[in-house]
Structure 1
Amino acid sequence: MAKMGFPSKWRGWISECVSSATASVLVNGSPTNEFHFQRALRQGDPLSPFLFLLAVESLNVMMNAAINTSVYSGYPMNFHKSMLVGINVAESWLVDASLVLNCKIGQAPFVYLGLPIGGNPRRLSFWQSVVERIRKREYGGLGVKRIREFNLALLGKWWWRLLVDQRGLWFKVLVARYGFDGGRVQSGGRLASQWWRDLLFVKEGGGLGVGNWVDEMVVKAFGNGESTLFWFDSWLDGGPLCNRFRRIFYLYVDKNVSVAEMYMLGWGVEGEEWRWRRRLFAWEEDQVRECSAILANFVLLDNASDKWIWRSNIKEGFTV
């Protein structure tokens, strides 16, 4: 208050009002001896608004100091590039106002921040300028991403992590809640959270009509075959074998068998690893021979580990 110019007598009055007040409190139903307040004001004190004025005045002083030292500065208006547009106002008023502001008079529709203002948004011509600006860079635009596809790609990173980062706590939580079978976390049915349902929706294409892009674009590059599931993983061209040979997959006993186990016992037509729930019909044996023909030329690499790869970027994997 002294720095703000208040005289000593006034400051003494305020100090007396603040320091002379006394109060007592009830302890076990009995009042204590009265004591003087040492700091601040009592609740509901008439001087409380005075503290607000002091704080606001301090803020005003700091703002003025920042402006004087050029820490803050206002936005300089360029009236030569500005225009005054009137909506339901008299033309004479616009003329007088434009003379005072020293700017020109504009009419709707006009462009503000690159967007048309005042036109009919239901007409295609209204949005043509916007489309021209956000088209791909190779066509002279700004290269703005398509929001829906970009968000789906960001959510797709979770599917990639479900394959390559199965040691994390978050993955263990999903497995504990929804179960794990066929090398994948299960859908969870009605008990699934909305977040998990959204991820399942993304896996199926997110409504873009691209199909199950995870199985189509994410494949397993096999080495020794120990961590690659024979039926469920996409380790051959054409997708998982469980989809290509549905009948014999249904009849096979151990559906979670690895590629290494199948290779060790032989995956030819007479291989020991082919174990069926019943005797096969002739047409089912034809499927086994077709599958064995596909596998005939494959050789596993004992010193190499299996790994997931993204077809579009084999070196770095799935990135956004």
Structure 2
Amino acid sequence: MQEVDITMKGYRRKDHPEDNDSLLQPFSVDEVRDVIWSCDGNKCPGPDGYNFNFLKNCWTIVKKDVIEFLNEFHRTAILPKAITASFLTLVPKKDHPQRVMRKLCQTAFLPNRQILDGVVVINEIIDLAKRRKNKCMLLKVDFERAYDTVNWMYLEDMMLKMGFAEGWLKWMKACIFNSSMSVLVNGSPTEDFQVGKALRQGDPLSPFLFLIAAEGLTGLMQKAVELGKFKSFKVNDNLNFRILQFADDTVIIGEGDWNNLWTIKTVMRSFELVSGLKINFFKSKLYGINLDDRYLEAASAFLSCSIDQISFCFLGLPVGANPRRLSTWRPIIDTMRKRLLGWSGRHLSIGGRVTLINSVLSSLPLYYFSFFKVPSSVLKVLVSIQRNFLWGGGLEGKICWVKWDTICLPKDRGGLGIKNLDLFNLSLLSKWKWRCLTEPNVLWSELLKFRYGSFSDNFLCRSVVSAKSSDSLWWRDILKVGEVEGNLWFSASVSSILGDGKSIGFWKEKWIGNASLKELFSNLFEKEIDKNAVVADKGRWETVGWSWVLFQEGVLLDNAATEAADLLSLLADYHPFDRNDNWKWIPEAYGQFSVSSTYQFLQQRTTADEICPNVVGALKRLWKNDLPSKVSIFG
């Protein structure tokens, strides 16, 4: 275990006793039921032949036995062999496979973290390095059969070092380390055998356990930086990047020099020996920014990997790409056309085509729409594919009997409820603005804040914010989200909820009513020295309570002093609280941002005056029937 200790020297243990107490709590009936109901009931059953649909349908019958079994496991940490047994099914990914590929890993499993967080960091680092003319090297690491090679001894030691309780470790050993497997050959299982390593595909625990295993690589890279063996990519004195990981999707980032290459090879080999996770250098890719071609060729030969060009695909998106070029969107366009070729659209009713457009064609570009602003030229192509399928059942152009904007209206407003891709794209991108405001201290947010300044100044001001020449294309597109023909609908839809006042701008943000103090008291704002002051800076706690301190005595003339008195009168009922500041999304009743509420809000903005309420009510009644969609659509 000495090698494991070396690996973990760079890892800083975080003890959270309250988390361990929560993990070791007895299983409640409601908790067990919620877990069962959250699982897909139609997933393939295990060797016992029972899937989750059986448990759901027969819950009243089997509930007592299931709870007793789980309580016994809670006490003893022992599972019968039949519970941990599984089948290995060989599923070909191609019609005529030459070998079996077993890389089916997901990439984002942590609460409050999203898969696109890593994408925005890589994209901004590439743009920043190009604009600064920094020499930057990126190595996209490929793990060979990631889940299948995890060393259990290493995984156990990682969990110990991370502070997991002994009881939890016993449960993990019972669930993972004492498993057996049979191979299905022509539908029949072979004799079972004990498994000595690896994590099971499809096991809900596997993604989380793999993340724990991958933390060792982060620890090694951190130790290498601390020892001065690896030079990370430095954004500023407080922000630098050396490795980005989302499960087995890993990118190592650093300066382009030979010391870094030696360190990478040493770290990768050490991690491979300790964890069992083998690095496939043949499939790994090396990318250089402002690096000499001869250096890249030598580095490629040294690491036994290939050189590739930026942009490249990371977590399913082309990072470093120009989103305004058609080539960036070509995979989405080709996928939509390919999907249509497999459908017999001409034999479907128009109701069936609407269903397929909503469930498939409108969903295919969702991932790209969540990060990139779709250009108008690409939008026309995507809409034409949908329109041609709706009216003709294929890719060929047909007569369009109704304007497409009308087709995209909600059903209760005279449309067919097909998503308006332009508004859908805006709704998804506006989530970035909301996340910037509500998650200001996470890594990707710190990077954006350093490059572009205050999020409040960029997103919540009443005037259009112009992008700078040094801004990335992605950020320029994000800035434009929320601006329609001079109307700043995003800033008008956000208000602040006062907490401790440490993050809410006193003058510039809307925390009293629906207007900022800058707008209500423009003369006072002009006389303010610190125009970016937060609420907490404009007062202090005294024995009698909170006291507002707006200006020093003698600074204001008579007229301004009168206005200041009016402001103090307005502030009399407000004071900071012992909680964090928060934000409210006005279009949503509960104040929490959601893409669906934003999409509905944008639709209402464009259609509010087009249909009278009586017609809306009639259309709602019309669509509430038990008729097939192919009949209802002609109502």
* Equivalent-residue separation in structure 1 for 2:563 and 2:437 (angstroms): 29
Which of 552, 574, 588 is equivalent to 1:313?
588
Structure 2: gaps (5+ residues): 1-94, 97-341, 350-390, 460-464, 596-635
For residues 317 and 214 of structure 1, the distance between their equivalents in structure 2, rounded to whole angstroms, comes to 14
- Superposed CA RMSD: 3.9
- Counterpart of 1:218 in structure 2 is 494
Matched to 1:201, the amino acid is K
Hey, what's the Cα distance between the residues in 2 that align with 1:260 and 1:229? Answer: 9
1:61-81 Cα distance to aligned partner (Å, 9 max, x none): xxxxxxxxxxxxx999999x9
Report what 1:275 is aligned to: 551
Q: Any idea what SS the aligned residue of 2:587 has?
A: coil
Indicate the residue corresponding to 2:417 in structure 1: 143
Measure the CA separation in 1 of the matches of 2:473 and 2:396. Answer: 38
Residue aligning to 1:298:
574
1:253–1:277 CA contact under 8 A, matched in 2: no
Equivalent residue for 1:67?
none
> 2:346 and 2:466 mapped to 1: Cα distance?
59
1:66 maps to none
Q: Which residue of structure 2 aligns with residue 169 of structure 1? A: 443
Cα deviation, 1:275-310, whole Å, max 9, x if unaligned, reads 3698333332232122222112224433x3321111
Compare relative contact order (CA 8 Å, sep 6+) and give the higher one, 1 or 2.
2
Please point out which of 355, 378, 392 is paired with 1:112.
Answer: 392
The answer to whether the 8 A contact 2:496-2:509 is kept is: yes
What is the TM-score normalised by the length of structure 1? 0.52
Shift of 1:178: 2.5
Q: How does 1:10-89 map to 2 (within 5 A)?
A: none
* Secondary structure, aligned partner of 2:469: helix
* In structure 1, C-alpha distance between the alignment counterparts of 2:449 and 2:558, rounded to whole Å: 39
Q: Percent identity over the alignment?
A: 29
Deviation at 1:315, TM superposition (A): 3.0
Does residue 242 (structure 1) correspond to residue 521 (structure 2)? The answer is no
Contact 1:215-1:239 within 8 A present in 2 as well: no
Stretches of structure 1 that go unaligned for 5 or more consecutive residues are 1-57, 60-73, 82-110, 120-125
Shift of 1:163: 0.4
Bigger Cα Rg: 1
Contact 2:409-2:416 at 8 Å conserved across structures: yes
TM-aligned CA distance change 1:77 to 1:246, over 3 Å: closer
User: 1:250, CA displacement in angstroms?
Assistant: 2.1
Q: Equivalent of 2:475, from 177, 189, 196? A: 196
Letter in 2 for 1:306: D
The answer to whether the 8 A contact 2:346-2:393 is kept is: no
TM-score (norm 2): 0.28
Encode CA deviations 1:199-237: one digit per residue, 9 max, x unaligned.
22113x143x5x222332111111332332212222111
C-alpha distance in 2 between matches for 1:255 and 1:130 = 47
Candidates 433, 439, 462, aligned match of 1:159:
433
Any idea what SS the aligned residue of 1:191 has? coil
SS in 1 for 2:559: helix
Distance in 2 between residues matched to 1:198 and 1:131, nearest whole Å:
23
**Which residue pairs with 2:505 in the alignment?**
229
Residue in 2 that maps onto 1:18: none
Is 1:179 the counterpart of 2:416? The answer is no
Q: 1:88 aligns to what?
A: none
SS of residue in 2 equivalent to 1:149: helix
Instruction: Output the CA distance in 2 between the equivalents of 1:131 and 1:275.
Output: 53
Return closer, same or farther for 1:181/1:117 CA change in 2, 3 Å cut-off: closer
